[in-house]
């Protein structure tokens, strides 16, 4: 290895792969080529679809990040946005049932000119059709993330690639300093392949790798 981060750098930003730098809303949504997505164009397309559509993709493909950016952009356009995150049933039936009831409650109190953004639509199960129908009756927008097929039209199909992961890494704090020195292109591709294209898990792996390589300078 050519170099490791010096103590001043470590103290200043810590690990650039920490969740405070990578969580949804911190890094702009990128496409499969690692280029910024045209969020404004997606909102225009959403309007053409009647304001109700799905962002589809597998785990760690950037769905939540894109949903958060779209939510912020809708708010910038003057739309009132309600956000709901559904927890998986495997994480606890009581919590999941509470989230399900909360989703219906949010849709029920919304009206035309408002949009409900739901992360984890597949957790709705058989109730998804009723929730979508309720949104139509209320006249509100509905944008969801999902792993599986849905009756809602697909706004975006999220896919991943080493180029996407590399694009995210280039946008992390201090990359001009540590890029290609601490975390190299080969490390990015290896993390992507090891984690089967899951961007979230790949970033966790690169966090550990960065931490291991900076330790001699931080100790």
Residues 55 and 152 in one domain: yes
Task: Tell me whether residue 89 is in a domain.
Answer: yes
pLDDT at 213: 86
For the chain, what is the domain count?
A: 2
pLDDT at 1: 42
Residues 183 and 104 in one domain: no
How much is the pTM?
0.88
Residues 129 and 197 in one domain: no
Residues 170 and 126 in one domain: no
pLDDT at 92: 83
Residues 213 and 183 in one domain: yes
Task: Tell me whether residue 201 is in a domain.
Answer: yes
Task: Tell me whether residue 2 is in a domain.
Answer: no
Question: Pick from 134, 157, 180: which residue ends a domain?
Answer: 157
pLDDT at 123: 93
pLDDT digits (tens, 9 = 90+) for 156-200: 999 999 999 999 999 999 998 888 889 999 999 999 999 999 999
pLDDT digits (tens, 9 = 90+) for 68-104: 999 999 999 999 999 999 988 888 888 889 999 999 9
pLDDT digits (tens, 9 = 90+) for 35-62: 999 999 999 999 999 999 999 999 999 9
Say if CB 124 and CB 100 are below 8 A apart. Answer: yes
pLDDT at 5 over 90: no
pLDDT at 4 over 60: no
Task: Tell me whether residue 142 is in a domain.
Answer: yes
Residues 123 and 151 in one domain: yes
Say if CB 62 and CB 30 are below 8 A apart. Answer: yes
Residues 26 and 81 in one domain: no
Task: Tell me whether residue 1 is in a domain.
Answer: no
Question: Pick from 157, 172, 193: which residue ends a domain?
Answer: 157
Question: Pick from 113, 142, 157: which residue ends a domain?
Answer: 157
Please give the residue range of the domain that contains residue 210: 7-30+161-218
Say if CB 30 and CB 65 are below 8 A apart. Answer: no
pLDDT digits (tens, 9 = 90+) for 102-145: 999 999 999 999 999 999 999 999 999 999 999 999 999 999 99
Residues 45 and 21 in one domain: no
Residues 45 and 145 in one domain: yes
Residues 110 and 194 in one domain: no
């Amino acid at each position: 290895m050519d170099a490791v981060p010096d103590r001043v750098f470590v103290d200043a930003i810590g690990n650039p792969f920490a969740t405070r730098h990578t969580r949804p809303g911190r890094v702009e949504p990128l496409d499969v080529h690692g280029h910024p997505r045209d969020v404004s164009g997606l909102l225009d397309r959403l309007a053409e679809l009647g304001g109700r559509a799905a962002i589809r993709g597998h785990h760690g493909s950037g769905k939540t990040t894109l949903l958060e950016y779209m939510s912020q952009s809708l708010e910038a356009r003057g739309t009132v946005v309600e956000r709901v995150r559904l927890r998986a049933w495997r994480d606890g039936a009581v919590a999941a049932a509470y989230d399900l009831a909360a989703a219906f409650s949010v849709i029920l109190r919304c009206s035309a000119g408002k949009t409900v953004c739901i992360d984890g639509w597949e957790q709705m199960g058989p109730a998804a059709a009723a929730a979508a129908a309720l949104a139509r009756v209320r006249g509100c927008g509905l944008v969801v993330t999902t792993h599986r097929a849905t009756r809602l039209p697909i706004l975006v199909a999220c896919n991943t690639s080493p180029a996407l992961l590399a694009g995210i890494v280039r946008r992390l704090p201090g990359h001009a300093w540590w890029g290609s020195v601490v975390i190299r292109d080969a490390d990015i591709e290896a993390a992507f392949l090891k984690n089967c294209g899951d961007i979230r898990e790949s970033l966790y792996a690169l966090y550990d790798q960065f931490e291991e390589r900076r330790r001699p300078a931080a100790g």
